[in-house]
Structure 1
Amino acid sequence: MFKNTTELAENKLLLLYIFDKLNIPLSNSHITQIILENNLIDYFSLQQYLSELIESGFIKDTKEDKWHMLTITSRGKDVLEFFYNRIPESKKDTIDKYINSHISSIKKDIEVFSEYEPLGNSRFMVNLKLREGEDILIDLKLPASSNDEARHICGVWKKNYKDIYDKLMDFFK
């Protein structure tokens, strides 16, 4: 399954490096996107590594509503610091360049949530959330009468969350 134990260790350290470098909670889909867009680890191995890192206490999986967010633990930081030099410079450079060019979109995605779930009879519940750090600024649930409407609401929220939030706050002044 794995070419060797060195590759296994390097890949797990690389994941810890990414979590440490970003220093923000990441969803599984965000870490998967970073890894796959840079062709660093195949999808199935990545999921296995993440599970093993969680089991060993190097990353923490916290659930907020329906979202699972992954963060590096102090134990994970200690391991990374100790074995930092075992991560190939080329992989660190690849990650650093990716993070530098995508940091604003990664942070925006982390702070602005939108999802929907079916309720039955072609009805959906849309959940919109805006976070600033650990603080939840808004958590709004809206009904939608179709899958298309639910996706549309999520898209509008992602594009216009700041204006929507500001107008809502102005309403309460």
Structure 2
Amino acid sequence: MAEPNMIYKISVLLLLSKVDIPLSNAQIVQFFLDKEYTDYFTIQQVISDLEEAHLVSLSQSHNNTLYSLTDEGSQTLSLMRDKVSSAIEADMVEYLSNHKFEIKKDNALTANYDLATGGGYIVHCKFTQDGHTMLDLSLHASTSEQAETICNNWKVRHEDVYMSLMDTLIQ
């Protein structure tokens, strides 16, 4: 029998292979904790190991880390898939089915910021729906506090911003 950490690693790869969008750290962890497969610290180490081995890639969005399967991760999964039981795979399918709307909603909005050349910050806000980019907006903020506020407000006001822009631009 394979060691537990190896099964956890293959399980993370399998979970990522079952979705067409990246999963957040919280979404991956939630699966393992909900099913009581392992503890928080173990699954964090597993994810870190997979990233170091270039089996998963990560992208950062304001206070959120998203993971995707790499080509190397797909190849590894194809060789090791039989290490994960059909019961665990069924649990994954159930989890993804039960949480598909919140997963899509969580991943539909991204907001982050970077230092701008010449001072200030560039805030990048993006809103996608059904795999289509609805709005991709970059704004200049003078301070990190402004940039942080924009990122936080984007989560709750993105629809208002989108509709306001559409109304203004199609008049």
TM-score, structure 2 normalization: 0.72
SS at match of 1:22: coil
Question: Does the 8 Å contact 2:62/2:112 carry over to 1?
Answer: no
In 2, Cα distance between the equivalents of 1:65 and 1:134? 20
- Report the CA distance between 1:93 and its aligned residue: 0.9
CA offset digits 1:107-161 (Å, max 9, x no partner): 1100124689xxxxxxxxx985423548472447689xx9xxx6xx957x54664
Corresponding residue for 2:135? 137
| 2:87 maps to amino acid | S
Structure 2 residue 165 is the aligned partner of structure 1 residue 172: no
Structure 1, unmatched stretches of 5+, are: 117-125
Judged with a 3 Å threshold, the aligned counterparts in structure 2 of structure 1 residues 66 and 135 are, in CA distance, closer, same or farther, namely farther
Selected match of 2:99 from 92, 99, 102: 102
Judged with a 3 Å threshold, the aligned counterparts in structure 2 of structure 1 residues 159 and 62 are, in CA distance, closer, same or farther, namely closer
Structure 2 residue 11 is the aligned partner of structure 1 residue 10: no
SS at match of 2:88: helix
Question: Does the 8 Å contact 2:61/2:111 carry over to 1?
Answer: no
Question: Does the 8 Å contact 2:61/2:110 carry over to 1?
Answer: no
Judged with a 3 Å threshold, the aligned counterparts in structure 2 of structure 1 residues 166 and 27 are, in CA distance, closer, same or farther, namely same
Selected match of 1:24 from 18, 21, 25: 21
- Report the CA distance between 1:169 and its aligned residue: 1.5
Structure 2 residue 68 is the aligned partner of structure 1 residue 83: no
Over the matched positions of the two proteins, sequence identity in percent amounts to 26
- Report the CA distance between 1:77 and its aligned residue: 0.8
Structure 2, unmatched stretches of 5+, are: 114-122
Question: Does the 8 Å contact 2:62/2:111 carry over to 1?
Answer: no
My pick for the range that moved more, 158-167 or 7-16, is 158-167
- Report the CA distance between 1:76 and its aligned residue: 0.6
Question: Does the 8 Å contact 1:62/1:70 carry over to 2?
Answer: yes
Structure 1 runs of 4+ aligned residues shifted over 6 Å read 140-143
TM-score, structure 1 normalization: 0.71
| 1:137 maps to amino acid | L
Corresponding residue for 2:42? 45
- Report the CA distance between 1:66 and its aligned residue: 6.1
Question: Does the 8 Å contact 2:62/2:110 carry over to 1?
Answer: no
Judged with a 3 Å threshold, the aligned counterparts in structure 2 of structure 1 residues 66 and 134 are, in CA distance, closer, same or farther, namely farther
My pick for the range that moved more, 130-139 or 51-60, is 130-139
Aligned length: 158
Question: Does the 8 Å contact 1:112/1:130 carry over to 2?
Answer: yes
Structure 2 residue 51 is the aligned partner of structure 1 residue 54: yes
In 1, Cα distance between the equivalents of 2:32 and 2:160? 33
- Report the CA distance between 1:168 and its aligned residue: 2.2
In 2, Cα distance between the equivalents of 1:39 and 1:128? 35
